Amino acid sequence: MGLAFAVAITGGIVLTIAAGAARTLSAPDRYTAAQGSDYAASIEQSGGQPRTTEVASLPAVARVRALTFVFGGLVRAGENPDRRLNALVFAGSHTAEGARLVEGRVPDARVPGEFVASRSFVESAHASIGDRFDLWVIPQAPAAALGYDAADQSVRLLRAELVGVVDGPSELQGGYAVAVFPRSLLDAGDVGISASQIVVSLRGGSTLHDLRNQLDGLPNGSQFGINPADWVPSVVRAAVRAQGQGLAILAVIAAAATIVVLGQLLSRQVRLSETERAVLHSMGMTRRQSVADPVLRAAVPTAVGALTAIALAFLASGVFPVGFVRHVEPDPGTRFESRVLLLTALALAVLVVAWVAVATVASDRRLRAGRAPVAEALARRVPTRVAIAVRFAFTHQNDESARPRAAVLGAASVVAVLVAALTFGVSLGRLIDRPTRWGNGFDLTLGQGGGDLSEDVRAQLVDDPDLSAVTLFANELTTAGGRGLNVTGARALRGSLAVPVLAGRLAARPDEIALGRVAARRLAVTVGDPLAVTGPTGRRVFHVTGLAVLPSVDGADGVGEGGLVTFAGLHRLNPSAGATAAGLRLRPGASDDAARRLSAGLGMAVGPGFDPPAVIVNVGRIRAIPFLVAALLGLLALMNLAHQLILSTSRRRRDLAVLRALGAGNRWLTGVVHWQASLFTIVVVAIAAPLGAIAGRVVYRAFVDRIGAVDTVTVPYALLTLVFVVLLALANMVAIPSAHRARRRPPSTVLAEE
């Protein structure tokens, strides 16, 4: 019963995580299937009124939906406009961002004052359907010149009513609350707008290549960037995939550790000692039967536990998907992932029983008393109590089938993965919390999608005594390799660019470009290769000079995506491109009110560094998984150690009884057991720590390579030391029952039984 319970609990955890990983990974496809499959292409229009009529007239296009960004904000009806709610405002169809209506109704297309909002807006604003808000907008001219820095020129456009709530994966892209008005809002007054996203369905037989060619045939066709579209945006799919893969890795690690721990636990419990085998062989039992007996005895609790684990995993399935992936789950609640649950349970049961079988076969021969040379050499140089503990921990008796070496290696493998998980988790946290690793090497920024920064603003930035570096940026949506590519122009007015370079160098000439690592991989180019980029002036060829971690400027993804050029290089693509944003670095000892002072002097909002890009936001959503892995492995390691001590005390009861008969007191025997636990833990940690640190380093660098950030690994020495101290303390805590058992029975009784 106890063994079956152990299999059920540990197996249930593994099955729950495995089924959760499968459910998480399948969520985007199941969401798409539930919503329909008429998304084909997403067209990014860089500015101006949405050109939906022109796009809809193209031969390849069957249906068009659009969403246009509006420079506006919502406040509660009648309240001060300074109390603007934190939400992005769009005009168009909420389906263009892959959202679905979950409550209320869609806005009447003829009523510009009706809108739907995302769940995050409803929750943050404590709003409900029927609530009224004032929509304040920035007119087009100041919005084009200053973006949100022209907020003081906002005007109240209309009284709006919330009529519906939408949900879906799209709001996960940037983590912002969203309000969507009908397309008619753009005709309700002077409304400042920016980029538009136009989603199209293609006619039968048409391809994205056909659509690209037809868009190029429109006036100013280079204004359009095109990417494959999906109900679930690619960055959200990547985030969901990252969480699903993280859970799958957690499941694999947990399964491997569970097999090791359960295999050792069962084999220790059911294997016959040499004395027992000798007696049974003398009674006629064959060698094959002596192997089959413990294997079959292990199979019964394993099978019962595996079936119970399936039931437990199904009952717990409603926990998944966790966190942000719930926005992508079309059918919340319990779900029976039949293939994953049944196959994983079967694999676990078979491998655990196979472990027992292999361990039994390996020990089915007469073993000589184990006197490991290293253990014996150490035992001769330490006090008697410690020497006995060394022999108890690392040697075996004539009638013991279990080898201490296997126990040490099994425990070390579990702890090594624990170390790897902590190394990965801490390094991931440093990546998220240190903006320089994902391309934001700036303390302050200004410019929010408006027009060019004036010469007066530039001069004030260069002369400001609190600044050590000033870099101007501009962004242009182009096409390379048939897909959209954000090209960022950068110019250092003061100091350096502060852009991390991973290989080669940054662009220095107009015909050079540095790419993000992900973009370079997708375009199949490397340092020294030519790259054709199509912008408003047509096709231009650049030479790739390096791989860099790019800042996320004016909506560009940054990090591993996009390209970085000089301003002269950007003017090859668009001669009218001007600096719309600036990154600022403060000098050491700069005044605390530098941002406020700069804002007042420039007449523009100066805020903290660039916001984390979507890829970093999404990575942040899985930062807890490595620590969950470490916690689970820590529990398994303790479970393994506790069973090892209990079994060792039981099998060494004769030795302990002899020691007591020779005069050893209870305190002395307790010290032996605690020394045994401590020495076993220290040896395990000494083996596991370097191996785990190396494994964590390799896995983390491979992970970061996929997103294109700086892959600096942080080995958490202080945390690992704390974990090892805690493990040592817990090992001595679990040794307490074994010590009590060692001194409980009179030695005469034990020796008489032996």
Q: What is the pLDDT of residues 45-102, one digit of tens each?
A: 877 889 999 999 999 999 899 999 999 999 999 888 777 888 899 999 988 887 888 8
Q: What is the torsion angle, in degrees rounded to the nearest 10, for the CA atoms of residue 561, residue 567, residue 573 and residue 578?
A: 100
Q: Using a cut of 0.85, tell me whether the model's pTM lies above it.
A: no
Q: What is the mean pLDDT of residues 273-279?
A: 65
Looking at residue 392, its pLDDT comes to: 74
Tokens of 33: 């299937």
Other beta carbons within 10 Å of 183: 18
Where is average pLDDT lowest: 155-159, 590-594, 683-687, 719-723?
590-594
144: pLDDT confidence band, cut at 50, 70 and 90?
Answer: confident
Q: Quick check: 212 pLDDT over 90?
A: no
Chain mean pLDDT for the chain: 84
Looking at residue 571, its pLDDT comes to: 92
Map tokens 């021969």 to a residue. 365
CA distance 708 to 704: 6
CA distance 243 to 625: 8
Q: What is the mean pLDDT of residues 532-538?
A: 88
Using alpha carbons, select from 24, 505, 472, 437 the residue that is nearest to residue 239. 24
CA distance 137 to 145: 14
Q: Quick check: 172 pLDDT over 70?
A: no
∠ Cα 591 596 599 (to 5°): 125
- Residues 247/340, Cβ–Cβ less than 8 Å: no
Q: Quick check: 285 pLDDT over 90?
A: no
Q: Quick check: 140 pLDDT over 70?
A: yes
- Residues 489/566, Cβ–Cβ less than 8 Å: yes
Burial of 170 (0-12, 13-18, 19+ CB in 10 A): buried
Burial of 668 (0-12, 13-18, 19+ CB in 10 A): middle
Looking at residue 535, its pLDDT comes to: 86
147: pLDDT confidence band, cut at 50, 70 and 90?
Answer: confident
Q: Quick check: 305 pLDDT over 60?
A: yes
Other beta carbons within 10 Å of 471: 26
Query: Over the stretch 315-365, which tens digit does the pLDDT of each residue have?
Result: 999 888 877 787 788 888 899 999 999 999 999 999 988 988 887 776 655
Residue with the larger pLDDT of the pair 126 and 655: 126
Looking at residue 37, its pLDDT comes to: 60
Other beta carbons within 10 Å of 469: 20
- Name 200's bridge partners: 41, 64
Looking at residue 619, its pLDDT comes to: 80
Looking at residue 596, its pLDDT comes to: 87
- Name 20's bridge partners: none
What share of residues in the chain are helix, strand, coil (percent, to 5)? 55, 20, 30
CA distance 625 to 603: 44
